[in-house]
Amino acid sequence: MVSDAESAPVFAKPVTLREVAAAAGVSVATASKALNGQGRMTADTRERIREVAQRLGFRPNHLAQSLLRRRSFTVGLLTNDTYGRFSLPLMAGVSDALVDNGVSVFLCNVEDDLRLGQLHVEAMLDKRVDGIIATGKRVDRHLPVDLSNLRVPVVYAFTQPDAGAIGLVSDDAGGARLAVEHFCRLGRRRIAHVSGPSSFEVVNTRADAYRAVLEENNLAVSEPLLGAWSEAWGHEAVARLFGGRGERPDAIFCGNDQIARGVIDALRERGVGVPDDVGVIGFDNWEIVAEATRPPLTSVDMNLASLGREAGLALLSLVGGQPAAPGIRKLPCRLVVRQSCGRPPGG
């Protein structure tokens, strides 16, 4: 008798354009042009690349083929994230999604300057980009440039989209739930929340999720402490939480990793052990901060690279003429557990 596992067909992973290029010893762009009858190269090079593709069993993506036949195989990425904190990991995801289809991505920083933004958009259109991905430093603000009536498709990622457009954001409520539920599983019962300014939509979204999880677990809900996105505010929040006579928290969920590092430093200065006395979780999983914190910081990762990849695939689909429903799509976060939370009781 043959088991289901033995009789189930095995499907090979599709060969990518990147693998064809590597096997042929050429760039992805050259491989793409060779397979699409474009670009300048010797007949021998073109034929060699085609033979490699055939030998490996490469099957071109029909959406990508449509894109490459009709357009420039370039995509513009617009951002006002001057430091690249959010836009760079997102761009890595966009590039990962498109490079196997021979599509290049170039980044333009519009800062918060309407005139500069318009200049960049006009330059992109002059270069006949196939589409534009708009991203920013917060999800509740538009970029300072109008992208609503362009002749190319636009996808928004980590910024507020125009009406009728596709927008991709991280699930902030889900991310906050991951953090607070993790504390609950660890046996923490007095969980405080320290976050950024209330003018940010994500601050209120995460605070609502924080309250909801505590109520679901029959735990006392304390009012979130809101301030700046800074280590200094983390220090000040600890002074408020531990300076009075009230019951002190045994866990602190922070709105970003900088606040969390300030919290941990302030607790250490007070002789409060992390994680033995108080567990701490941040948000963003900014590795340069989280891994350098002592102890290394557990943090919610917004999966910006995955978000960028989804944005790239969505744009590729639009350029290929595929219908796509407008609206905001929320992608899940993940909790990266390090050493700032401790172990569950008896663990």
Residue 70 pLDDT exceeds 90: no
CA distances (Å), origin 111, targets 81, 138, 179, 307, 341: 7, 13, 32, 21, 37
Same fold across 71-170+304-331 and 172-302: yes
Domain ranges within the chain, ordered by starting residue = 17-60, 71-170+304-331, 172-302
If you average pLDDT over residues 3-18, what whole number do you get?
57
Instruction: Note the pTM of the prediction, 2 decimals.
Output: 0.80
Q: What is the pLDDT of residue 315?
A: 95
Q: Which of 19-23, 58-62, 161-165, 192-196 bottoms out in mean pLDDT, i.e. has the lowest?
A: 58-62
If you average pLDDT over residues 66-82, what whole number do you get?
79
In the three-class reduction of DSSP (H, G, I as helix; E, B as strand; rest coil), residue 115 is classed as: helix
CATH of 17-60, picked from 3.90.1170.50, 2.60.40.60, 1.10.260.40, 3.30.470.20, is 1.10.260.40
If you average pLDDT over residues 34-39, what whole number do you get?
78
Q: What is the pLDDT of residue 82?
A: 84
Q: Please state the CATH superfamily assignment of the domain spanning residues 172-302 in this structure.
A: Response regulator (3.40.50.2300)
In this predicted model, which residue has the larger pLDDT, 84 or 271? 271
Highest mean pLDDT among 9-23, 111-125, 197-211, 310-324: 197-211
Burial class (CB in 10 A: 0-12, 13-18, 19+), 326: exposed
At 243, give phi and psi (nearest 5°): -90, -15
Q: What is the pLDDT of residue 4?
A: 42
Would you identify the CATH topology of the domain 71-170+304-331?
Rossmann fold (3.40.50)
User: What percent of the chain has a predicted confidence (pLDDT) above 90?
Assistant: 68
Instruction: Give CA–CA dist 116/223, Å, rounded.
Output: 41
Strand partners, 300: 283, 335
Instruction: Give CA–CA dist 180/253, Å, rounded.
Output: 7
Q: What is the pLDDT of residue 67?
A: 54
pLDDT band at 77 (very low <50, low <70, confident <90, very high): very high
Q: How many residues appear in the chain? A: 347
